[in-house]
């Protein structure tokens, strides 16, 4: 897993935890797991997209230089 995926996945998990804290901590363990899971998945997806875009730009630059 690349750096962007790690960073975004962690940020997504933290966002899920912040949502739980905002509810006053009344979330059940299942709701907590779902919120963190959704946040982590969303973050992972964003990180993957960022990495793909960077790879595409690098490939284009390499093709131009060749």
Q: Which two tokens stand for residue 51?
A: 């990495």
Per-residue pLDDT tens digits for 12-45: 777 777 777 777 767 677 777 787 788 778 878 8
pTM of the entire predicted model: 0.64
Contacts of residue 6, defined as CB under 8 A and 6 or more positions apart, other chains included, come to: 47
| Whether residue 5 has pLDDT greater than 70 | yes
Q: Which two tokens stand for residue 30?
A: 């299942």
CA 36 to chain centre: 11
34/61: higher pLDDT: 61
């Amino acid at each position: 897993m690349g750096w962007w995926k790690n960073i975004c996945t962690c940020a997504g998990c933290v966002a899920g935890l912040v949502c739980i804290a905002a509810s006053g901590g009344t979330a059940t363990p299942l709701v907590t797991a779902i919120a963190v899971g959704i946040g982590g998945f969303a973050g992972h997806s964003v990180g993957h997209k960022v990495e793909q875009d960077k790879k595409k730009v690098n490939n284009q630059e390499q093709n131009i230089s060749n």
